[in-house]
Amino acid sequence: MRYSPVLTRLDFPVAELSALRLDGEAFALDEAVIAVDEPELAVNRAAALAGLFTARMVAELDTALWVYGCLERPPAVHTGSIRRDARGRLLSTTRVRLRETTIADEEIVSLAGIRLTSRPRTAVDVALLDDVPAEREAAVRELCSRPAVAAEAVTIALGLGHTPGKLRAVERLRQWRA
């Protein structure tokens, strides 16, 4: 039987995952482990979130930046959202902070069964923040280095309606793509 290259606590007990690391067969990838001969791809980073994100949750902001490879290390507390039209309660944990958002289906992608914001939507979400630290700005600049991503991000931002900080976000996105 062949196992996935990324193993989480859903696959094995924590003791077994730790043993794989101690034996040199795998290395830590957030709360998961990945085989030493596997590349650290976006799909593997997304798979590492399987024990943290449910099917209704959408990984966003720093978590999405990490999955896309724009941040070197996973965030200490992942960020996710649940759509406003979804039924249920927000239950943040010590590892995942949740918020309600309005997001279009085409702004969500799925990798390894984990839903996350698309690259352009991730750039927009970061641009909407009041304070953008240098590391986060550099990560979004990397995302916006692709002309198609930058152009779509500006289009998404302009279509947000009466969102606070929208004009500042559009200006930031235009600066970050340069």
Q: pLDDT per residue over 91-133, tens digit each?
A: 667 889 999 888 999 999 999 999 999 999 999 999 999 999 9
Assign 40 a pLDDT band (cuts: 50, 70, 90): confident
Pairing status of strand 32-35 against strand 26-29: antiparallel
The two tokens of residue 64 are: 């999405």
pLDDT per residue as tens digits for the range 133-166 = 999 999 999 999 999 999 999 999 999 989 999 9
What is the dihedral sign for C-alpha 132, 135, 43, 112? negative
Label residue 51 by pLDDT band (50, 70, 90): confident
Q: What is the pLDDT of residues 126-135, one digit of tens each?
A: 999 999 999 9
Distance CA 44, CA 30 (A): 11
This prediction's pTM = 0.91
Written in H, E and C, the secondary structure of 34-96 is EECCCCCCHHHHHHCCCCCCCCCCEECHHHHHHHCCCCCCCCCCEEEEEECCCCCCCCCCCCE
